[in-house]
Structure 1
Amino acid sequence: MQSAAELARGVLGTVRRALYPPACVACGTLTDSEFALCGTCWREAGFLAGALVCDACGTPLPGQDDGPVHCDDCLRRPRPWTRGRAALPYRGTGRALVLALKHSDRTDLAKPLGAWLAAAARPLVLPGQALVPVPLHWTRLARRRHNQAQLLAREAGRHLGLPVLPDALVRTRSTKSLGHGGREARAKSLEGAIAPHPRRGAALAGRPVLLVDDVMTSGATLAAAAQASLAAGATGVRVIVLARALLEP
């Protein structure tokens, strides 16, 4: 027999669904369940689970998944982390969701996106590992009011059963948007821009780190964060992002 509290929650849930029926988190089309994608957006999303991807940066590659491989870019320019994955390509549905989370105050998206991030991250999980979101500079955090990487890390940590260290790294200076710069310009802009927190960075010492961000483009931001983590004493760094942008060589 249901308790009074369970009965009340059921009634409230029914009323809420009647007033606010579940809708696709990307386009708003009505769906059968909450925090889901409609069929069209799901097909367009192109989830990377099961696809052949670069073991270092998560970019999709032609062929079938039959073992660890690396893309030409990672072979030419080794990363300061060992392995990386992405849940989605940064296009279509994936791009729309990233931009909504980052710029449109859609913090509710952290729930489904964090679950997808956790699913993509499972092959990277190690004993004693901690999730560390890539930090924002305080000026950008004040304008945006949230760090999307931190929102994703908290939700993913809940699914993975891993601790989240939200303040282990800090941005020491503000940097310009990297979206339209070349590879070398991105790397130069990030030199020395991320460092271990003067006090909380010590929590990284002696443990593996899983860095979390919303998008990987050239990888310059994640490289700076990985180098800072290693400088703080992390035993190794892996990276997980919600979406992987595909760059021209």
Structure 2
Amino acid sequence: MPAKCLSGLSPRSLTPWGHIGLPKWAGLCAMCGRWQTQPVCRACQQSWRIELPRCKRCALPWPDAIQADSCTACEARQPEFDRAITALDYLPPWSSLISRFKFQRASSMQGHFVELMADAVRQRPHRVDLILPVPLSAHRLAERGYNQAWLLAKGLGRVLRRPATDQALVRTRSTPRLMALDSEERLRAIHGAFQVTPKWDARLRGRHIALVDDVLTTGATLDEISRLLRRHHVAGISAWVLARTPPPDTEASPPSGPGDQGWR
């Protein structure tokens, strides 16, 4: 049954429904605050998820994507991975929800984000033998309690029926929070920060890998891991990300659907 907003219902009116089949997920839409059957209601998805032509290499919005596979940024500096696929632009209100998912244990968003990513991947069919998350350092993992990239990768493996593991890559040291660094500082900070585990050393050879992360900004992290995987003779590398940071002059447009009434 397609998801729909339950905007006319209050929590009290929902209570008696529990014994006759209330949808598996029912609560407040994270954007508009209305009662509905998904973490983000269908109206808000349609209002805020803007489909744009994108560069096939780096996933930046690119008006000439139909005529050219790579944008001018990629022509100036080619990414180390073969393709990038994103579900969203890292703009409000999605950026706020992703931050909650990443830093505040908003686990209810996991399934929704996985479905958005899986839908984007299905639109660009390509071979994938193994799904790997970008790893966290031991310190950051202990601090946060979970790796959001692994939650996404594991969910994608289940939905797309591809093997996924968080045991092939390790982050050998902590780095400064890359969001606060410029592109050159990110390159220096991330250099040599990853390794392939001995168990997977030979098992990656000839495989087509999908690297999963939550946000792609400069690509420094994904490039560093891609260089590492190339040294281990993988056959292809795809970057699957939940959101792509757009050029700095890009702004979110106000929603036009019914979901705009509750967003602050």
TM (norm. structure 2) is 0.80
* Structure 2: tracts of 5 or more residues without a match: 1-16, 250-264
Q: Are the aligned partners of 1:52 and 1:60 in contact in 2 as well (CA < 8 Å)?
A: yes
Moved over 4 A (4+): 15-18
Question: In the alignment, which residue of structure 1 is the partner of 2:71?
Answer: 71
- Structure 1 position 173 matched with structure 2 position 177: no
Q: 2: distance between equivalents of 1:73 and 1:14?
A: 54
Identity of aligned residues (%): 30
CA gap of 1:27–1:155, structure 2 versus 1, over 3 A, is: farther
Q: 2: distance between equivalents of 1:245 and 1:217?
A: 5
1:23-34 aligned within 5 A = 23-31=28-36, 33-34=37-38
Q: 2: distance between equivalents of 1:134 and 1:201?
A: 17
Q: 2: distance between equivalents of 1:223 and 1:152?
A: 19
- Structure 1 position 224 matched with structure 2 position 238: no
1:44-59 aligned within 5 A = 44-46=48-50, 48=51, 51-59=52-60
CA gap of 1:26–1:202, structure 2 versus 1, over 3 A, is: farther
Q: Are the aligned partners of 2:207 and 2:234 in contact in 1 as well (CA < 8 Å)?
A: yes
- Structure 1 position 91 matched with structure 2 position 91: yes
Question: In the alignment, which residue of structure 2 is the partner of 1:158?
Answer: 158
The CA deviation at 1:66 is: 2.7
Structure number with higher helix proportion: 1
The CA deviation at 1:208 is: 0.6
SS in 1 for 2:86: strand
TM (norm. structure 1) is 0.84
Q: CA RMSD in A?
A: 2.4
How many residues get paired?
A: 233
The CA deviation at 1:237 is: 0.7
SS in 1 for 2:27: coil
Deviations 1:179-225 (A, max 9, x none): 12111111111100112122234332220101100000000011111
The CA deviation at 1:96 is: 1.7
Higher relative contact order (CA 8 A, sep 6+): 2
Q: Are the aligned partners of 2:214 and 2:242 in contact in 1 as well (CA < 8 Å)?
A: yes
Aligned partner (choices 33, 38, 43) of residue 39 of structure 1: 43
SS in 2 for 1:229: helix
Q: Are the aligned partners of 1:118 and 1:157 in contact in 2 as well (CA < 8 Å)?
A: no
The AA in structure 2 aligned to 1:61 is: W
CA gap of 1:205–1:198, structure 2 versus 1, over 3 A, is: same
* Structure 1: tracts of 5 or more residues without a match: 1-10
Question: In the alignment, which residue of structure 2 is the partner of 1:129?
Answer: 129
Question: In the alignment, which residue of structure 2 is the partner of 1:184?
Answer: 184
The CA deviation at 1:125 is: 4.7
Q: Are the aligned partners of 2:130 and 2:164 in contact in 1 as well (CA < 8 Å)?
A: yes
Q: Are the aligned partners of 2:81 and 2:223 in contact in 1 as well (CA < 8 Å)?
A: yes
Q: 2: distance between equivalents of 1:123 and 1:67?
A: 18
Deviations 1:131-183 (A, max 9, x none): 11100001000011110110001111112111102121110110000112111
